[in-house]
Amino acid sequence: MNRQKQERMQELVTLLNRAAKAYYQDAQEIMSNLEYDRLYDELTELEKELGITLSDSPTVNVGYEVLSELPKERHESPMLSLDKTKEVEELKQFVGEQKALMSWKMDGLTIVLTYRDGELYKAVTRGNGEVGEVITNNARVFKNIPLKISYKDELILRGEAVIGYKDFEKINETIPDVDAKYKNPRNLCSGSVRQLNNEITAKRNVRFYAFTLVKADGVDFKNSREEQMRWLKEQGFEVVEHVMVTREQVEDAVADFSKKIVTNDFPSDGLVLVYDDIAYGRSLGRTAKFPRDSYAFKWADEKAKTHLLEIEWSPSRTGLINPVAIFEPVELEGTTVSRASVHNISIMKELELGVGDKIEVYKANMIIPQIAENLTRSGVKDIPAVCPVCGGATAVKQVSNAKALYCTNPDCQAKHIKSFSLFVSRDALNIEGLSESTLEKFIDRGYVKQFADLFHLDRFAEEIKTMEGFGEKSYQNIIESVEKARTTTLPQVIYGLGIANIGLSNAKVICKEFKNDVDAMIGADKEQLSEIPGIGAVIAGAFTEYFKDASHVEKFKNLLAELKIESNEGEEKEQIFAGVNFVITGSVEHFANRKELKELIESLGGKVTGSVTSKTNYLINNDITSTSSKNKKANELHVPIISEEMFLEMVEK
């Protein structure tokens, strides 16, 4: 019965969130206010009855916080790796006369959760197995994690944080620079879980799947791992998909799991078996490296032999030219593949890879095409002496431990396209409608040669309207976006230039230091820039080197002539909060969000940090009497807690 109520609760959360998104973001109404309120009340009652509140429930508002760093914490007991095999027979031998739970070995980031008094108390990453990072702030915004559970004693469990392939692809689509795109969902998940700003984590749709219960005193699990998993589901956790197997059932179960790989949205690199009999498993102890009650199974990669047809060389914005192997199409894991990245020249030489070679290919973790072996090894030849895009000279450079090919032509068209792509991106000029493919067409036709040319596309109005895929409406949309982008800020322009190592935050610091004085800024030497807090020798060197080039200065000034630079109001205002440190927590009423409040404080010379310390001067919280951890810390350190109204009174004095 409780399971049905849980399912209904999750159904209500999904339905209400969909209705709220439609109403507030898409200006659509998919249910009446009366119906929304009725479902909301039903959800509230279910949460009270079950003692469970999910992190994405509309009944809770998880505040966003920014931390200065992630604290480290040593695990109570080391988190060991698992011994592994690719042979099904070895799995059968492991199971023996016992029963075992078989589940996915998910490819994300392992997290340890601790609950106390029915609430999420702490979340720590696996780290190196001995010491992990505390990411409690971020775990609170995982899409499916329960913030409150019915069990009130201390609960400790382990699970995997993952990002699905669909969300991975959506996020990568928003990143214009191909070099900055995430390589796989695991890398994206790792970066998302370890963010200092949990607002970013919340947008990444991280999900948590429990796979091991470590501690829950006073509960009778009938000496069964399967019973532990069932109980965790009752507490509101999503648990990793699992089945009970005997030795005779292992082979069929492995086959059943393998069939699901192609359609699964989440990444997995194998399976895990753990003895169902808890006492038996514990009695086996562990080796120095592995626990003896668990065993991992890695997929035996399906391989196919084929012939290498060519090496395709793919340039990027940084000048790096990536080798891609093109081979006769083969069927692997149910799909046809005909290309695989070789990554760099060092790997090519290791494989002695030459066109015409007979090669063996596979899909790593049944997903990513790779070359397993070169069977004929004719040797590397025909590394291009010129860039395939611009015809400029190439050079082989040592990068870390590998050799890679680079285009040396600073005016390479590939670099050009990628540079324009960065320039029109959201954090730069934010010109909507100018995709990389559109920019490539404009550059090929000579419509744009430097950034300033984007503001004169009207010169080619008739040509653009008659281009394939364009018309009057699409042309007007681009022109409107361009005109809107004329009004911008100097840091966004500096960032949009694509100077090495200069991000938006660095650009803001430099512009603030020089009070938006362009001539002073581009005329500064390396020593001047290095003295700015937060700007080191590397950034200072990159900045001065860029503006040493007279053509860069000329193009920059041509660009500025097209723009209306918004004044930095913070420089015009009296710096009444110079040297004053604030922390903001809870919801805000007089500002659109906490970011807006933070920007006001910074414009008045103040600093906003993520946690209350002895250096904090004020904690802003509209709920002054709250017993939140930040309020408790502020009271302990005698830091004044002020409301928004009190803060605004300080501003207006």
Q: How many CA atoms lie within 13 A of 344 on its CB side?
A: 13
Nearest-Å Rg of the Cα atoms of the chain is: 29
Residue 217 DSSP code: T
Query: What are the structure tokens assigned to 392, written together?
Result: 């400029």
Chain center to CA of 430: 21
Q: How many CA atoms lie within 13 A of 619 on its CB side?
A: 29
- Can you name the residues that pair with 296 across neighbouring β-strands? 84, 272
Query: What are the structure tokens assigned to 426, written together?
Result: 């959201």
Of 106, 144, 132, whose CA–CA distance to 10 is shortest?
144
Is 105 an active-site residue? yes
Distance CA 309, CA 175 (A): 31
Judge contact between 575 and 512, C-beta under 8 A.
Answer: no
Q: How many CA atoms lie within 13 A of 85 on its CB side?
A: 12
Distance CA 268, CA 110 (A): 13
> One of 5, 86, 105, 203 is an active-site residue; which one?
105
Judge contact between 613 and 619, C-beta under 8 A.
Answer: no
Amino acid at 86: K
Q: How many CA atoms lie within 13 A of 52 on its CB side?
A: 24
End-to-end CA distance of the chain: 60
> 564-565 and 487-488 as β-strands: parallel, antiparallel, unpaired?
parallel
> 335-341 and 394-399 as β-strands: parallel, antiparallel, unpaired?
unpaired
Query: What are the structure tokens assigned to 255, written together?
Result: 């086959």
CB atoms within 10 A of CB 611: 17
Of 160, 108, 143, 145, whose CA–CA distance to 267 is shortest?
108
Judge contact between 365 and 271, C-beta under 8 A.
Answer: no
Q: Which residues are catalytic?
A: 105
